[in-house]
Structure 1
Amino acid sequence: MRRRLIQSTLAVVLVVIAVFGVSLVIVETRTITESARERVESEAVRLASIVDSRLLVEEKVTAAVLRDQVTEDRYVVVRLPGRAPIEIGDRPEGDAISASASGEEGETVTVQEPRSSVTREVGRTLLIIGLVALLAVIAAVLLAVRQANRLASPLTDLAETAERLGSGDPRPRHRRYGVPELDRVADVLDSSAERIGRMLTAERRLAADASHQLRTPLTALSMRLEEITLTDDPETVKEEATIALAQVERLTDVVQRLLTNSRDPRTGSAVTFELDEVIQQQLAEWRPAYRSAGRAIVTSGKRHLRAVGTPGAVAQVLAALIENSLMHGGGTVALRTRVTGNQAVIEVTDEGPGVPADLGARIFERAISGHNSTGIGLAVARDLAEADGGRLEMLQARPAVFGLFLSRTPPRKSQDDGRQTVR
């Protein structure tokens, strides 16, 4: 492309020089010739007037008298009536420019100038035009090289950017080139890079969330299936199978919730539900794990509370808090329910050392963990709570107390767009 730009620019300049240069040479040649002819005619008239003035005062007209009045390289012939012609200068060889003028006393003055002098002047003019044309060609080449580099280099850079995007590097370069069309392409590539980056981030986040959120239900389901394989009592098998089926349903809900939340974290299906049912389900699911660890999990507080949210999401939030207490806390874990204003609150606390001071302000950030865990459980829990219009907060650091706040007002239709909102 760089070579094509240089060649095209040079071709345009050469065509322009050829068209205007030839025209200029023709015009200048004619102008120089006409100017030489005018000079010769003017000199003939001037010499005729000089001869007239000397004849009027009866002075002699000789070659010596007129020689100082004749321009160098000119040949002059003065013809007087009844006298021999007076010649001044050398007769030009070959073609010459000639002009004659007659005086009032009957004399005739003829002036000739060699055409070689005109040719020399035309040659000098052609040389000047040629030098100007050469300078124009050099300037055109330099300008073409500069423009080619200005256009080709950004295109090469944009091609490298597109190749990086195709290879999975979505970092925008934010580089501009001062050419509106190329800057527009750079804007589109940067926007595409940002969108691809967000998509990759969302996919990685979904994979991490799925790995974390599915681990606990799968572990609990494995424990139930182990119980079934270790017993021969039909009633126990039936009971464990029923619990396992319920856990499969919750697992399905977890997957659906993760997919929905990855597309739009605000897309919740909030309904009014009984908090006691969700809490009892979590107690039943986590008691075996706590018994294995030699710890207890209990519930207390106000009963028969109804809240607004997605039961599956609330269960996942509580599961994240209970698991966090199991991994990082100590002693008995308590789930307490209470009411504050128009909100139902579920507090999860334990008897452990609490949250370290350096993690307190960042406990809900992703990849923040105090004991080599994934560091995404609390972050996912907060996202789930906010998706249902609630909030998850750390109420106390030592011992750790987390509170899940849910609205108690039933959902109703918005008058503006008919979508379900929680107010």
Structure 2
Amino acid sequence: MRRRLLVLVASTVSLALVAFLAPLAFLAGVLAADRATADALVRAQSLVPVVSAGGRTGLELALEQANSAGGFPLTVFLPSGGVLGAPAAESDAVRLAFTGRSLTANASGGREILVAVQGTSARTAVIRTFVSDEDLTRGVARARAILGLLGLGLLLISLVVADRLARSQVRLISGLARVSHRLAAGELSARAPAEGPREVREVATALNHLAGRILVLLAQEREAVADLSHRLRTPLTALRLEADALPESEQATRVSAAVESMERMVTQVIKEARRSRQDATGECDAALVVAERLDYWAMLARDQDRRVTRDLAGSPVTVGLTAEALATCVDALLENVFAHTPEGTPFAVRLDRRPDGGAVLVVGDEGPGFGGGDPARRGVSGGASTGLGLDITRRAAERSGGSLETAGGPDGGAFVIVELGPPPN
């Protein structure tokens, strides 16, 4: 935009300068030629009284003094055919002047000024002076150079002023773009200053209104999710009471653990829904969280005759997620293994440190693998699930500064690679 404004101003000012300065440059040449011609004519007319007197001796003396003083050369063509003064050929213009007409005629290398003088005799004498092309254009180049420099100076000044104006406009628009990028990055408190031209102020006001509306909608969504999750506490309480009433057994322990895990997830959903995205990040020891969740799922793996391979880096492995958020991700990945692979299918969990901080969590199984499409896309599922597990994990990984990828093994199976970023500084 800034460059386009400068090009527009430069072209407009250039056209105006050409329309103004070109006639002046032409007029400078005309005025210089007219001035030289007028000076030469005055010089020639100064000899008219001497020529009219008819004295040859006085005329020769006057011509000698005039030509010795410099300036335009003077020549007198006498009626008798003689020539006095500066040597000059009798041209057609001179012969025409003998008829009694004073005139100006173009000649080779300049211009002839001819003055017809009627003397004491009946015949006419002609006074001739010559103005060279150099005299006709004297000072024209300098005048045109001054005009050119003046035009260039005006053009530069206009470009500087236009650049200042364009920079102020571009700065305002760039500020709006930066605010929009901050909003897109989740900084919903960002606002654009309503300043500048009316149109820019209207855009800033609309952007601020949009940001405020987003805050309202997010708050409504969080409250709706929190309220819905809170309603689940009543049946969970009933399940807790039923689980506590069961006789002590391995099955009762698993039911109690499942109810406890569900209560923890509901609590986390309420917390996540009631806080902003900026407050959703934290940190935890990924090695401890992954090990604890593997221990929890190990009982179900033994019941289904699944071989579990774990390869966890030594504690601590600090990542930029809270322990609750990471536990939810691990549970979602392991739940997918149990839900979408036959009983007896082995799986493996590996946790490695990243060189630049954070960790890489890989969950792989030897099941049928993923179907078509993107399994991490929200709402997509190849089985009878909601299709939200991988999407929840992906969003949590991205919130920490990482990512999620899915892949198939060379001999079948499925792998989910979750990169977790380090905690914020």
TM range (shorter): 0.3 to 0.5
Q: Under a length normalisation based on structure 2, what TM-score does the superposition of the two structures give?
A: 0.42
Q: Under a length normalisation based on structure 1, what TM-score does the superposition of the two structures give?
A: 0.42
